[in-house]
Each structure stands twice: as C-alpha cells, then as structure tokens.
C-alpha cells in the first residue's frame, strides 16, 4: 500500500516508524510543519517527524499552508498514493487533498471519539479526570475530527500519569491500531461508523490562562490541571513565578493510587488531618518529599517545581534551597 504521511510532533513518530518497518506499506513522502526556532539559542529546529523521514531518505514537504501551496498540492497529486495517513499534523486539510488518495485520508486521533475532538484531547481528558481514554482511527472529512470512525482502542488512566506519559502510551497504541486499520480497510473488512454529533465534546488549544493555578480549587482539581497541562502550570512564590510540574493529592481517597513512598507517608495522616490554613498556604513539610499546601479542599504535595532561570528540582530540594517555611502562602 502506497502511503503519504502527514505528521509533526513526537506523538506521530511511532506510527511513521511502524509503517516504515512493515512490509505491506511503502511510504512515498512525508508532509510536516515548517522548522521552528526553539530554545535559548533560538535555533531553527526540525519537527521530530522530519528527523525520522530524513534518516530514511524520504522526500519531506513543509508548506506553510498545505491547502494553499500549489507546489505541494501538485506533488501530492503526483504520488498516486493509496492513502494519506494523518497523525497530529497541525493543519486542516482541504477537500481537494482529502479526495486525492484512493482509500481516503486516515487520521489517528488521541481520544475515544466523538469525545474530545480538537487539538489537545490528551491534556483535556486528564484535566477532566477521565479514567479511560484511547485512540480512534477515522476517515477524515473537512470538519474538526468529525469523520466516520474506523477502529478504537482503549486504555485506563492512572492517577499519577501526566500528559507526556499518556501521550507516549497512546502513540504506541495508535501505531498498532493504524496498521490494523489500513490492512482491514484495504481488504474491505471495516464498516465506517458515523459519529453522533450530539455526544461530541471538545478539546481546544490550551491558552496561557489555562496554566494559571487557583488555590481555591480542590487538591484533586489542581492535580488534574498540573498533570494535564504538564509541565507548564504556574503559581507564584515570593512574588515570582513558580512552575509546578509534579504533585500528589493527599487523602484516603487517593492512597491506593499514589507511589509507595507517599503511601508510607499515610501513617502521618492524623497529624495532617489537623493541619489547615488559607488556600495556598504551606501547612506542613514532608521530609524527603516537599511542601504540603492547603487548597480549597484537601492538601497537595508539591513533588517537582521550577523557579525562573533554574532547572526543575524536586519538592524537597526546593524546600531546602528556598528555605520554605510553614505559613508561607503561594499565590495564584
């Protein structure tokens, strides 16, 4: 089967690699986003998919706007591809492009559709405390993740998984499901199922304000926000920004899902049960772990943080280095 691959971030890499290794597929070319300037040196950096494609000597096309780029459209048409595979490409495809391949355009989407259509399904399902997610393959149409569904695969979500962990897991699931989808599609063994729009939910692009922590929220809400929008959630500490990238909600409802070292800490629960303070106040210090902060409901253990201009550090190193004291208040 002749394939043109559309994709950009690391999430798309396992699928491309799986196609390249599989004897049933021939990847003709790769379409990805233009290189971007990143890091302190502001160096022009290729997307992860381009790195893989270049290593395999594949043609790489990087149009600013694929549906308006005459040269890319001509190149796509000339491939005579059986299918276009799209994994987190980052641009909307026109009907002209969707109509080019013989079997259509197959998308690998990081949710159980029709839930979490949109750009950030992994992040928002964590934010919303979902217990399960997965991958849906679908035939693309001009809508935003509205095409007919082909196959689905599900996976449970654990309390301590963050967006990066979940993306890595889903990327591998998606690679396997895409191969199964293409083989069955070619053999006519899949009946596309239209989505029920009435059941749809949405996962929009994450905005700057979504990263801001509000200590009046409950500990579990803050935990889900921090892991969902990992590693960029921010509070304030002594009038400067403080990124909080790893945390743990404390309480009997969560002990079984917490790491063993925090479960051991449960023996001190009687002491914590009498700890109280204002929202955002450090009410205790967990030796070897970090500061425990009062929230609008429940306590939150800060396990990894980052001060401006510094590298991420453990909650315990932060407590010692900054000489954090009980009674200090973190701002929103």
Instruction: Tell me the binding residues.
Output: 111-114
Burial of 302 (0-12, 13-18, 19+ CB in 10 A): buried
Q: What are phi and psi of 304, to 5 degrees?
A: -150, 130
Q: Which of 307, 304, 305, 301 is nearest to 283 (CA)?
A: 301
Supply the angle between the helices 163-186 and 13-21 in degrees, to the nearest 10. 40
Tokens 């599609």 found at = 185
List, as residue ranges, the binding site for (6S)-5,6,7,8-tetrahydrofolate. Answer: 111-114
Cα 28 to the chain's mean position, in Å?
A: 28
Helices and strands, counts by H and E, the chain:
10, 15
Q: Are 246 and 304 in contact (CB under 8 A)?
A: yes
């Amino acid at each position: 089967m002749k394939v043109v691959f559309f994709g950009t971030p690391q999430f798309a890499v396992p699928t491309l690699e799986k196609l390249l290794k599989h004897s049933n597929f021939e990847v003709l070319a790769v379409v990805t986003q233009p290189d971007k300037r990143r890091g302190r040196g502001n160096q022009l950096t290729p997307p992860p998919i381009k790195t893989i494609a270049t290593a395999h000597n594949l043609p790489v096309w990087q149009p600013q706007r694929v549906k308006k780029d005459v040269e890319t459209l001509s190149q796509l048409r000339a491939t005579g591809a059986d299918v276009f595979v799209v994994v987190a490409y980052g641009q909307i495809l026109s009907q002209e492009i969707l109509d080019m391949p013989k079997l259509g355009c197959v998308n690998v989407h990081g949710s159980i559709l029709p839930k979490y259509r949109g750009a950030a399904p992994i992040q928002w399902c964590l934010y919303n405390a979902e217990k399960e997610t997965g991958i849906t393959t679908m035939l693309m149409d001009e809508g935003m993740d509205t095409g007919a569904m082909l196959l689905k695969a599900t996976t449970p979500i654990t309390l301590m998984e963050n967006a990066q962990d979940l993306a890595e897991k889903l990327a591998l699931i998606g690679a396997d499901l895409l191969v199964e989808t293409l083989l069955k599609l070619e053999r006519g063994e899949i009946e596309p199922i239209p989505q029920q729009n009435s059941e749809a939910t949405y996962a929009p692009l994450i905005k700057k304000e979504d990263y801001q922590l509000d200590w009046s929220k409950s500990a579990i809400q803050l935990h889900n926000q921090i892991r969902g929008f990992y590693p960029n959630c921010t509070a304030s500490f002594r009038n400067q920004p403080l990124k909080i990238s790893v945390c743990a909600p404390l309480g009997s409802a969560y002990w079984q899902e917490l790491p063993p070292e925090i479960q051991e800490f449960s023996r001190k629960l009687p002491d914590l049960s009498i700890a109280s303070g204002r929202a955002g106040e450090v009410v205790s210090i967990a030796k070897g772990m970090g500061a425990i902060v009062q929230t609008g409901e429940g306590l939150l253990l800060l396990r990894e943080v980052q001060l401006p201009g510094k590298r991420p550090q453990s909650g315990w190193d932060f407590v010692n280095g900054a000489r954090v004291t009980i009674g200090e208040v973190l701002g929103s």
